[in-house]
Amino acid sequence: MKKIVLLWFLATLCCQTLTAQERTYLVFEFIRIETGKTVDYLEYKDFLSNIYREAIDAGDIVGWDLWSLQRSADPDAFHYATVTYYDDPVKMMSSSDMEFLINHGKKAFSDMSEEQLYKKIRAAHDDRDLALRSYMVEVAKTKDDFEYKPGTLASFDLMKAMEGRFDEYERVEQEVFLPIHERKIKAGLMENWRFLRTAVPTGSEASSTHMTMNVYKNYLQFFNSLEYEDIDMNENQLVAVEKGLQSRDQKWVYLATLETVVR
């Protein structure tokens, strides 16, 4: 039964790809690092960068990012997030962690045996807690030519569309909030914005259904952007914004700094 459901899901994603132009699929992994293991994990990121660069050359992924998340007093808070970009939903779903890393690791590190690769990857995985993985598909984004590079700032905003208002929420993000972000970019107060939907089917109890990525050059631009919220909006637009905010529940927001980018 599980195989039938998976085949149906992959077939559905393939149909979506055929009807969409240049769709991007993203896998977010939110990670906690064990106390005292941060330095080890940061050294491991360079090893991963070479593996993901090989995966890009092979056409299996489009890109890979490592983001450090702003620390908080919450002991359950995430420390890092990785984002892997795909242009094919089947590749997104069929890339298993260990097999994927080993296969590309053999090409990236030809001097290492499969056993050595396995031990290095397993040791790094044992130092972390992969607390949350989200499979997302890009629904809309701003028209810009911004290139991600280390030091880029972003906020990851996880949302849950209110029951019965899923379509309304998506329409508001695209028709109301997208133009707002376009104006911010033109005003030099933002660099890039993406609106994402969960790609894997979820039930009504899912913690989130959507995400926005709000990307800034630095903290100065981020704080200046906060002052821009109601500029150039008439009464009807303000009402539309307020209605849009009521169609979703903002579950949580993380500020992130880009540490490593592979394209």
Q: What is the pLDDT of residues 10-55, one digit of tens each?
A: 444 444 444 445 799 999 999 999 888 888 888 899 999 999 999 9
Q: Determine the residue type at 48.
A: L
What integer best gives the mean pLDDT of the chain?
85
- Candidates 154, 162, 151, 161; CA nearest to 181 is 154
Distance of CA 82 to the CA centre of its chain: 7
Q: What is the pLDDT of residue 129?
A: 86
The residue with tokens 């007093």 is: 73
Mean pLDDT in residue range 75-91: 91
Residue bearing tokens 């002991």: 75
> Which pLDDT value is given to residue 17?
42
Instruction: Give the DSSP H or E segment for 252.
Output: strand 248-262
Q: Looking at residues 120-133, what average pLDDT do you find?
A: 86
pTM: 0.85
62 falls in which pLDDT band (50, 70, 90)? very high
Confidence of residue 231 (pLDDT cuts 50, 70, 90): low
What pLDDT does residue 229 have? 62
Every domain of the chain and the residues it spans = 2-133, 139-262
d(CA 170, CA 179) in angstroms, rounded, equals 14
The CATH number of 139-262, from 1.10.760.10, 3.30.360.10, 1.10.260.40, 3.30.70.100, is: 3.30.70.100
Q: What angle do CA 259, 70, 152 make, to 5 degrees?
A: 35
- Reported as a single tens digit per residue, the pLDDT across 181-208 is 999 999 999 999 999 999 886 555 557 8
What does the buried/exposed string (b/e) look like for 23-60 if buried means 16 or more CB atoms within 10 Å of the residue's CB?
A: bbbbbbbbbbbeeeeeeebeebeebbbebbbbbbeeeb
User: Between the CA of residue 162 and those of 135, 201, 213, 236, 243, what are the distances in Å?
Assistant: 20, 16, 20, 22, 12
Q: How many CB atoms lie within 10 A of CB 146?
A: 15
pLDDT cut 70: percent of the chain above it: 85
Amino acid 108: pLDDT: 96
Tell me the CATH number of domain 2-133, given options 3.30.70.100, 3.40.50.300, 1.10.10.10, 3.40.47.10. Answer: 3.30.70.100
Q: Retrieve residue 138's tokens.
A: 């890009």
CA 118, CA 92: separation in Å to the nearest integer?
A: 22
pLDDT tens digit sequence for 164-174: 888 989 999 99
Q: Do domains 2-133 and 139-262 have the same CATH topology?
A: yes
Contact predicate 256/82, CB 8 Å: no
pLDDT level of residue 119 (50, 70, 90 thresholds): very high
